[in-house]
Chain A
Amino acid sequence: MKTLRKTMCMVMAFVMIAAIAAAGATAYADDAIKIGGTGPLTGGAAIYGNAVKNAAEIAVEEVNAMGGVQFELRYEDDQHDAEKAVNAYNTLKDWGMQISMSSVTSKPAEATSAETYADRIFALTPSASAVAVVEGKDNQFQMCFTDPNQGSASAQYIADKGLATNVAVIWKNDDVYSRGIYETFMAAAGELGLNVVSDTTFADGNNTDFSVQIADAQSKDAELVFLPMYYDAASLILSQADAAGYYPAWFGVDGMDGILSLDGFDTELAEGVMLLTPFNADSADERTAAFVAKYQERFGEVPNQFAADAYDCVYAYAQACEAAGVTADMSAEEICAAMIEQFTTMTYDGITGDGMTWDASGMVSKSPKGMVIQDGAYVGLD
């Protein structure tokens, strides 16, 4: 029995090594520029990776149909894990990736950004918002806000509009995104005179029951609860607060976007929720509406802000490649130099904001829009 097992393992190992070695032999073929990206397509964070992949596919088709610069897109699964992300990145490198869309989530992006930096492949991440992704690396750019930006902007907004003085924060302790926003929010809140009365957390293992966190905020009379987290957890908090009879003002960040399109979610629960987000799927803007309609038709879901950022990434690449005259026969390193020059000088108008610019740090400058949910739809706050 041991021998059988060993033989089978041996055979499997050889077949797989051969398969991997063969994969490395793929050559550059056509006139399309190869864009690659990694994201969680399976596992607990699959919702974000698939949104990015789907939207990027739509954008690449549209760009190719326009007849100008041609793209070929490939997404590889990283299961929201740094190790798998590096594996996925190496697979893309073997494929001949010339431009990278980095990784969808922050920790994997931090790992792959070290690789793209060393290999001189230009990377623009749609959604990995941690500062560490771009910090100290000249060829790493972000389409989304960095976390600290959002935290301080939210505190500023709450203080400026006088929404509340007693504030509660519920955040996800083991999540880089949530923690990054939380820290700068707390710092800014202290300066602006916001009184944070309740500060509670949750983590991956216990992200279903929020009764304790809600009770804490309620008993300390918080008038507003700040939720720096993604919408799946936020939807649970809203429904459990409703069950507990607690109705404060709710304030979310860009991760909250998507809550209205949750399959089966009672949008009444989200009535009055405020959020800062660069993207609004209900916008009357022509491009946004066309994108949302196409996404819905293809995938049966309303695109969230991850999808919108990915869509913008591809279009930003198209604009930069056209401007720099990038062609498919250029090496990744040549393209990288051209892209750094383009991205630090160009202005891009997309569905997540007009007049976006980037500085040498790789962080985007665009203004978030304050939104409030009324009758199941976003309405601009100002």
Chain B
Amino acid sequence: MMNRNKNFGRNLLTFAVVIAAYAILQPMVLAGSVSATLKGMLVPICAYVAMALSLNLTVGVLGELSLGHAGFMSVGAFAGATTAIALQQAVASAPLRLAIALAVAAVFAALVGFLIGIPVLRLNGDYLAIVTLAFGEIIKSIFNNLYLGLDDRGFHVSLLEDRTGLAEEGRMIIAGPMGIGNIPKIASFTGGFILILLCLAVIFNLVNSRQGRAVMAIRDNRIAAESVGIPVTKYKMMAFVISAAMAGAAGALFSLNYSTVVANKFDFNTSILILVFVVFGGLGNMLGSVIAAAALTILPEALRSFSNYRMLIYAIVLILVMLATNNPTLKMLIGRTIPKRKGAAESA
């Protein structure tokens, strides 16, 4: 266990890095001095950072591998976009609408997280991982077959085929495999920045609380934790639901940045992508997740000058970084210069 002060310093550093990044980039965006590419990526980067933080809570702090985290993102994306569309007339202010959409998305994702958590958290290890993968695929399948329309009589839902029977002036919001179209693009960099700060605040508070220590005790040794009277399922569920809520908000932020969103976007590959961010940044290391998510989202774009070889190089970079960071010789060198710490990353 790291001591309290050191922990506090690290948390402060994480906040400082995020705030500094915002403080540098936002004036540049306002002044129009960043390229369109970077400007266009700010919101998705925020969404991916929030996703990485959310998954890091599940994998790094709770110690359970989730391969279906994109499912929660999907729930959030659809709930958030639906809310934003439904409130288009009722709430005029875009930032307020964004905040409501994110909150609704978080609630829906938390609810789904709770329902999934009931069976999932009874399992352990790779079996838990495969069940989360399965739930991710089921969520994708459901959204691919869900029809949701809105007219003056309220919402109409149907599954498999369009039986919503909308009134003339009604609006089809979720159109099965076609997803949602004409989404109001109300997501903003500032909104994303606030979301990241909120996620960080929630995670740090949790980790430093009595509950958080219980969660980490379960991660480090479930049986020992159980034997000292920690209600394992309750704390696991708590961390899982919080993680799902964050992923939902991130999904809403993501979907509200594009005019269209489809269920297939949030597939197994996206879940894996988020997991790559978390492992790259270090398990349980929130600053690492923030930086890794930002860096790895930018990487494929920065490689565009390699044209056809772009994704090949991306793959090679991925492998090389994993090899380099796990290389015993390199680790020894680092270990000599910096005193060895026994941190969260080694134990999971």
> Interface of A with B (CB < 8 Å)?
1-6, 8-10, 12-13, 15-17, 19-21, 23-25, 41-42, 76-77, 81-84, 86-91, 93-94, 107, 110-111, 113-114, 130, 132, 173-176, 179-180, 203-205
Contacts and interface: CB of A to CB of B under 8 A. Distances in A.
Given A5-B282, A83-B265, A91-B304, A10 B185 contact: no
Contact of A174 (B264, B287, B299, B326): B264
Contacts of B40: 86-87, 89-90
B177 A175 contact: yes
B292 A21 contact: no
Contacts of B36: 24, 90-91, 93-94
A2 B295 contact: no
Interface residues of B, number: 60
Contacts of A87: 37, 40-41, 301
B34 interface: yes
Interface string B251-271: 000100011111111000000
Contacts, number: 156
Interface of B: 34-41, 44, 137, 144-145, 176-179, 181-182, 185, 254, 258-265, 280-282, 285, 287-288, 291-292, 294-295, 298-302, 304-305, 308, 310-311, 321, 324-326, 330-331, 334, 338, 341, 343, 345-346
A173 B35 contact: no
Given A13-B295, A23-B35, A132-B182, A8 B324 contact: yes
B285 A2 contact: yes
A81 to B, nearest CB: 7
19 contacts: A2-B341, A5-B288, A6-B281, A9-B280, A12-B295, A13-B291, A21-B38, A23-B35, A24-B38, A82-B258, A86-B258, A90-B41, A91-B37, A107-B262, A114-B185, A132-B181, A174-B264, A176-B177, A203-B144
Given A87-B40, A91-B37, A179 B310 contact: no
A54 B110 CA distance: 47
B37 A24 contact: yes
Given A16-B299, A82-B261, A174-B144, A1 B38 contact: no
Contacts of A4: 324-325, 330-331, 334
A274 to B, nearest CB: 26
B298 A9 contact: no
Nearest to B298: A16
- Which 9 pairs, one residue from A and one from B, show the smallest C-beta to C-beta distance? A24-B35, A114-B259, A90-B40, A16-B302, A13-B295, A90-B36, A174-B177, A93-B36, A90-B37
Contacts of A93: 36-37
A175 B259 CA distance: 18
Contact of B334 (A3, A25, A114): A3
A13 B294 CA distance: 7
Nearest to B335: A1
A181 to B, nearest CB: 13
Given A16-B299, A87-B40, 12 more contacts: A1-B346, A2-B345, A4-B330, A8-B325, A13-B291, A15-B302, A23-B305, A24-B37, A25-B35, A82-B258, A88-B304, A114-B260
B137 A205 contact: yes
Contact of A21 (B35, B137, B338): B35
B338 A3 contact: yes
A8 B304 contact: no
A113 to B, nearest CB: 8
A42 B179 contact: no
A25 B282 CA distance: 35
A20 B35 contact: yes
Given A2-B282, A87-B40, A110-B259, A9 B301 contact: no
Contacts of B145: 173
A91 to B, nearest CB: 5
A5 to B, nearest CB: 5
Contact of B265 (A3, A81, A114): A81
Contacts of A5: 280-282, 288, 321, 325
A204 B265 CA distance: 12
A343 to B, nearest CB: 22
A240 B291 CA distance: 49
B263 A20 contact: no
A12 B346 CA distance: 23
A1 B288 contact: no
B141 to A, nearest CB: 8
A178 to B, nearest CB: 9
B264 A179 contact: no
Contacts of B264: 174, 204
